[in-house]
Amino acid sequence: MATNLQIAARKVSSINPARGEVLREFECASECEVQAAVERARAAQPAWAAIDVRTRIAVLREFQRRLLEKKSEIAEAITREAGKPVAEALTTEVLVVLDAARFLIENAYHLLRDEPLPHGSLATKLKRGQLVREPYGVVVIISPWNYPFSIPTTETLAALVAGNAVVLKPSEFTSMVALELQSLLRSAGVLRDVFQVLVGDGATGAALIHSKIDKLVFTGSVATGKRIAVAAAERLLPVVLELGGKDPMLVLDDADVDVASSAAVWGAFMNAGQTCLSVERCYVHRSLYEKFLSACVEKTNKLRVGNEFDPDTDVGPMIHERQLQIVELHVEDAVARGARLLAGGMRIRELGNNFYKPTVLADVTHEMRIMGEETFGPVLPVMAFDSDEEALRFANDSEFGLAASVWTRDNARGERLARQIHAGTVMVNDVVSCFGISEAPHGGVKSSGVGRTHGRFGLEEMVRLKYLDVDLMPGMKRVWWYGYGAAFARQMEGFLDFQFARGLGTRVRGALRSAGIMARKKL
């Protein structure tokens, strides 16, 4: 009881990161409230799963229609709570969700329906097999603050259309956006207990993990992800973990410097660098190195940092002071170890506490923290390489493996290198936009996590796979049942030769030896 009271007594605040004003204060959901929400979800889920898939798709279509109508209002809500410019909220959040809904509306029916499974073995030709996809039951989604609408919504839509009930625990920094999502889904026809938002802090999330749920989808830090994996392992709870990245960008000697430098600047600084798919490590062939740096610095200095509601703003504030301090620590460490600071590298205090100038660093090395640890801020560290082999070695020298990019005028060369990079996604001549490709799976390898969201494979994460087998001769005893004996062994040897031997003569002799196998006496 003391634990419950402590959780209930805690509060979290939604704060505008640009001005520091408190938008709304919430009480954290207590352990009792968590358990009650999960129980309500479990009670409501069977009726939701019993609804025809086409009806659930119709709910998604209505959600999509309502979101399109309210696109500006939702974008402004995201901007108010997360700090990104409205234009960025529209492109990286609202657009992504609208298209994710489009993908599920077009594809969920045929991806979720029963799938015939033909049998190749002669021994099982009198059976009919099917793959049946069934919802897990109650899926918990714990989502981050950097994309408070697109990340939880794409995961939620997949879980719901598959027939699950969903309990969403948003980041304590962006709870209001999650409540906007709840309002949209319920107005579109999702039953009240089939989708619930629980506002709270880490203790609320921990209570959810230890409640009677059927699957967990978590996006967040590696440290938290590892703790979740340990807790989940105790009860074999299936999880999807997206734990961030340190994405490399490889600029080859034949790349278009103007295009690649623009991509690097946008890929490093959009959402103030607070993107798991950000360009966090940039490797440039030595022949283009100084020219590339000069272009990046020129373009970085043209970026407009400011009020997130100003339509001319390119880069808004960081989410909070703690994240900004990590950026400062990484930049200071790099400069102290010999990196050249070519742009930025300081706060913009006249704008507010959470504004940091977009920063370009040259001559970084892998001994610097900024090339090993996730920075998650508006910093572009650039390092030279001399060969494709060296670039690959640098790219793969990381505990992370979420995404990467290769820049070249030769797509075949780019693809060859992409296949050798250890990452869940590699783009040739583009960055970050893979998250907005609804058909493409999102997820990584190594410390970037396990499992996938988005597309076909994200939908597969929301269902249990069941094999259903029906024997077409229910009145006949199976050949392989008891009543073995020497004759049966010889017949089986002949049957194996008949089915698998390569020579025609051996197969014919095998068929003759196996004659009578169906008529033998069985127990």
Are 37 and 206 within 8 A, CB to CB? no
> What span, in angstroms and rounded, lies between the C-alpha atoms of 225 and 236?
15
> How would you classify the pairing of strands 138-142 and 127-135?
unpaired
Strand partners for 463? 135
Residue 4 burial by Cβ neighbours in a 10 Å radius (0-12, 13-18, 19+): middle
Strand locations in 355-443 (E): 359-362, 379-385, 400-401, 403-407, 425-428
Encoded tokens for 444? 């990584």
- The number of C-alpha atoms within 13 Å of 236 and in the hemisphere containing its C-beta is 0
Q: Which helix (H) or strand (E) holds 499?
A: helix 485-500
> What span, in angstroms and rounded, lies between the C-alpha atoms of 182 and 192?
9
Q: What does the radius of gyration of the chain's CA atoms come to, in whole angstroms? A: 28
What is each CA distance from 454 to 288, 289, 408, in whole angstroms? 36, 36, 28
Nearest alpha-carbon partner for 246 in 422, 5, 464, 509: 422
Residue 483 burial by Cβ neighbours in a 10 Å radius (0-12, 13-18, 19+): exposed
> What span, in angstroms and rounded, lies between the C-alpha atoms of 329 and 320?
15
Are 138 and 131 within 8 A, CB to CB? no
Residues that are catalytic: 242, 276
Residues of 261-293 as b/e, b for ≥16 C-beta within 10 angstroms? bebbbbbbbbbbbbbbbbbbbbbbbeebbeebb
Residue owning tokens 């961030």 = 244
> How would you classify the pairing of strands 239-242 and 449-450?
antiparallel
Give the list of residues 6+ apart from residue 186 with CB closer than 8 angstroms, or none. Answer: 192, 195
